[in-house]
Amino acid sequence: MAATSYPLIPYGWADFRAIRLEGRLYVDKTRFIRPLENERFTFLIRPRRFGKSCWLSLLENYYDRKWADEFEQVFGGTDIGRNPTENRHSFVVLRFDFSVVNDEPKTLEQEFDYYCTMEIREALERHPALFPDKAIQRILAAPSVQTRLNGLFRYASEHGIRLYMLVDEYDNFANTILARHGARVYRALTHGGGFYRNFFAAVKGGAGQSGGGLERLFITGVSPITLDDVTSGFNIGKNVSLLPEFNAVLGFTEAEVRGLLDTYRNVGALDLDPEAALDVMRDWYDGYRFAKGAGETVYNTDMVLYFLDSVLPNKPMPDDLIDVNVRIDYGKLRHLLTVSRQMGDSGRAEDTTRGGETAGSVRLNGNFDVLRQVIGEGQAHADIQSSFPLERLDQRDNFLSLLHYFGLLSIRDSTAGRMRLHIPNQTVRRLLYGHLRDAYDDVGVLSVDMHAFAGLLRRMALDGEWRPVLDFLRDAIAAQTSIRDYLDGEKIIQGFLAAYLGVSRHFLLRTEVELNKGFADISLEPLVAQFPELRHGYLIELKYIKRGDEASDAIVQAVVEGAEQQLGRYLADERLQRLYPSVRFTGLTVVFHGWEMVLCDMTPE
């Protein structure tokens, strides 16, 4: 089949106009323009790789006067194309993307000033009838970005020009500064007389005053921290991130994903059975609910496009279900999530002390304890905060809220307003496992030869050789005593085991999976959709004896007998037999006495 016989996948594309003019795949989200017009100044937080930049490109093409003549070409056939609003193509749009600004502290202010000035100039020159050369020169002659914006807003107000500002990745370089150079450099940027704070002071002035010149504003990012710091709270507009009516403004609903699969199947471009493909995508890409009252979850946009781009036309399922770009993006957040480092202005660690440790060294902070608890439990309860400053990130609800905004936790349900958050899918679960392993390795708590360990896991999947894997972990714990301080409960140990067993790309790893009216601690289900030759799966029952309690042979044996009874019931579950008719599942009992693995054995058949 010719490549042009079906809509090509715009994987990695963020230019809405180019997507539409080239006839590439587009899932229509234009219906969200109407409710958005009810708010003048709007703030939307979504995780990375969810389509924020493409959405801003859509808004730019819909509202900017420059593109009025192309409306039918770009928006024809869409929801808003059939029924546009009165505001269509009635603004001069200022669009900023702060992800392109170099984050080196020494040159950041100069780079920021140059970039913003370039974008302001481009927007004004795009509308020569509204901004003659003398006006442009006068606006740009001001000595700073703040004063240039003030001049622009004043001119627009005096001449009846409607301005719409779009700010994409508003927190990108600020987050990078925080991760790479520490809190002091970040605070200099966002507090007091910092140039970034001054930028938002100008924006607030233009939007918040009667006749201020800035009629509409839309800001996106991945967390509310920076905006709270630079504006003392987003008090000039509305944070719509947690509103149910905007839950699916970005991301794909299951109906939309099913429609894509059926479409490509019907034109002969997809060999995979749509239902089988949807089962895999549901496990790996679905599960995001951003608002308490939202009735459905959404799939990650990038992950769905990555999958489709990999299997079209008529290709098998990709060996790696996680897009490497997703791994890289979340890797940038690792220090913010799990590791504390005291940094000086030079970017070098300072020689101060805190809590008996050298503050210049890398160490695990209090939020890491929350993270490992989340990984062990698979869920957490929190009141999601709409904004909070960096200084309050160490408060549990704020940190859990941050994980939610990053897409690492999602709303499952709520009780009396308090949310129950859970890990949304296998992709995020494996990213969190990676954070846990990397954090242990960063501080020398547990350093493991992951290449050798991955080889053992491969043999476990292909040949049924499970004992070398558990022996490897037992020996690593015994040899590196620092890890013992972190293995302090059954759920924590369960999360630890899952984090390392989750390295294998041959298994679908689940925790607390319901089987035959019980819950198996860890399930390793072979990914037969990708690797049909796999014949081995595992159910692991973890038993924990407190370090201070007796662990005699008789007590351990009694614990093992109880575990084997549970595993026998789980192994008889009809779902396993139905889904994996050609797979042999083995039950494994693992007993810990405190941090020590005292037994691992197979359930007799």
Are 347 and 481 part of one and the same domain? Answer: no
Q: For 290-337, what is each residue's pLDDT tens digit?
A: 998 898 999 999 999 999 999 999 999 998 999 988 876 666 666 655
Residue 418 confidence (pLDDT) above 70:
yes
Question: What is the rounded CA–CA span in Å between residue 473 and residue 453?
Answer: 9
pLDDT band at 435 (very low <50, low <70, confident <90, very high): confident
Domain tally, the chain: 4
What residues are paired with 507 via a beta bridge? 526
pLDDT band at 234 (very low <50, low <70, confident <90, very high): low
pLDDT band at 391 (very low <50, low <70, confident <90, very high): confident
User: Among the listed ranges 290-299, 436-445, 500-509, 573-582, which one has the minimum average pLDDT value?
Assistant: 436-445
- Phi/psi at 183 (5° precision): -70, -35
User: Among the listed ranges 172-181, 182-191, 192-201, 331-340, which one has the minimum average pLDDT value?
Assistant: 331-340
Each residue of 21-47: b (16+ CB within 10 Å) or e? Answer: eeeebbeebbebbeebeebebbbbbbb
Are 231 and 267 part of one and the same domain? Answer: no
Query: Considering the domain boundaries, does residue 1 fall inside one?
Result: no
Are 489 and 558 part of one and the same domain? Answer: yes
What is the arrangement of strands in the sheet containing 92-97, beginning at the earlier edge strand?
A: 92-97, 163-168, 214-221, 41-45, 238-239
Mean pLDDT of the 429-441 span: 90
User: Among the listed ranges 130-139, 142-151, 379-388, which one has the minimum average pLDDT value?
Assistant: 379-388
DSSP string, 454-485: HHHHHHHHHH---HHHHHHHHHHHHH-GGGGG
Question: What is the rounded CA–CA span in Å between residue 193 and residue 5?
Answer: 56
Query: Considering the domain boundaries, does residue 326 fall inside one?
Result: no
Choose the most confident range, by mean pLDDT, from 188-192, 259-263, 391-395: 259-263
pLDDT band at 453 (very low <50, low <70, confident <90, very high): very high
Token pair 């693995």: residue = 597
Indicate the residue among 190, 217, 241 that finishes a domain: 241
Helix (H, G, I), strand (E, B) or coil at 435: helix
pLDDT band at 2 (very low <50, low <70, confident <90, very high): very low
Q: What's the sign of the alpha-carbon dihedral 595, 599, 600, 605? A: negative
Q: Which amino acid is at 369?
A: D
Contact 534, 582 (CB under 8 A): no
Residue 4 confidence (pLDDT) above 80:
no
Higher model confidence: residue 91 or residue 371?
A: 91
Question: What is the rounded CA–CA span in Å between residue 496 and residue 374?
Answer: 11
What residues are paired with 168 via a beta bridge? 97
pLDDT band at 3 (very low <50, low <70, confident <90, very high): very low
- Distance of CA 399 to CAs 2, 303, 368, Å? 49, 25, 10
Residue 73 confidence (pLDDT) above 70:
yes
Are 300 and 225 part of one and the same domain? Answer: no
Are 473 and 589 part of one and the same domain? Answer: yes
Query: Considering the domain boundaries, does residue 13 fall inside one?
Result: no
User: Among the listed ranges 152-166, 293-307, 346-360, which one has the minimum average pLDDT value?
Assistant: 346-360
Residue 146 confidence (pLDDT) above 80:
yes
Q: For 481-539, what is each residue's pLDDT tens digit?
A: 999 989 988 999 999 999 999 999 999 999 999 999 999 999 999 999 899 999 999 99
User: Among the listed ranges 284-288, 388-392, 479-483, which one has the minimum average pLDDT value?
Assistant: 388-392
Are 178 and 202 part of one and the same domain? Answer: yes
Question: What is the rounded CA–CA span in Å between residue 407 and residue 292?
Answer: 15
Residue 199 confidence (pLDDT) above 60:
yes
Q: Would you state the pLDDT for residue 184? A: 86
Are 189 and 315 part of one and the same domain? Answer: no
Are 367 and 467 part of one and the same domain? Answer: no
Mean pLDDT of the chain: 90
Residue 363 confidence (pLDDT) above 80:
no
Query: Considering the domain boundaries, does residue 247 fall inside one?
Result: no
Are 50 and 134 part of one and the same domain? Answer: yes
Indicate the residue among 289, 321, 353 that finishes a domain: 321
Query: Considering the domain boundaries, does residue 18 fall inside one?
Result: no
Burial class from Cβ neighbours inside 10 Å (0-12, 13-18, 19+) for residue 190 reads buried
Beta pairing class for 536-545 and 584-593: parallel
Q: Would you state the pLDDT for residue 387? A: 87
Query: Considering the domain boundaries, does residue 329 fall inside one?
Result: no
pLDDT band at 390 (very low <50, low <70, confident <90, very high): confident
Q: Would you state the pLDDT for residue 229? A: 86
- Phi/psi at 484 (5° precision): -60, -30
Question: What is the rounded CA–CA span in Å between residue 149 and residue 151?
Answer: 5
Mean pLDDT of the 368-396 span: 89
Alpha carbon 274 to its chain's center = 26
First to last CA, the chain: 50
Are 164 and 221 part of one and the same domain? Answer: yes
Query: Considering the domain boundaries, does residue 6 fall inside one?
Result: no
Q: From 428, 310, 286, select the one nearest 12 (Cα to Cα).
A: 310
The CATH code of the domain that includes 158 is 3.40.50
Q: Would you state the pLDDT for residue 286? A: 98
Residue 364 confidence (pLDDT) above 80:
no
Question: Global pTM?
Answer: 0.91
Question: What is the rounded CA–CA span in Å between residue 258 and residue 542?
Answer: 38
Q: Would you state the pLDDT for residue 333? A: 63
Q: Which two tokens stand for residue 442?
A: 């960063």
Are 199 and 258 part of one and the same domain? Answer: no
The CATH code of the domain that includes 535 is 3.40.1350
Contact 113, 120 (CB under 8 A): no
Residue 41 confidence (pLDDT) above 80:
yes
User: Which domain, by its residues, includes 391?
Assistant: 334-422
Mean pLDDT of the 444-452 span: 92
Higher model confidence: residue 367 or residue 306?
A: 306
Query: Considering the domain boundaries, does residue 136 fall inside one?
Result: yes
Contact 471, 477 (CB under 8 A): no
Are 313 and 342 part of one and the same domain? Answer: no
Residue 209 confidence (pLDDT) above 80:
no
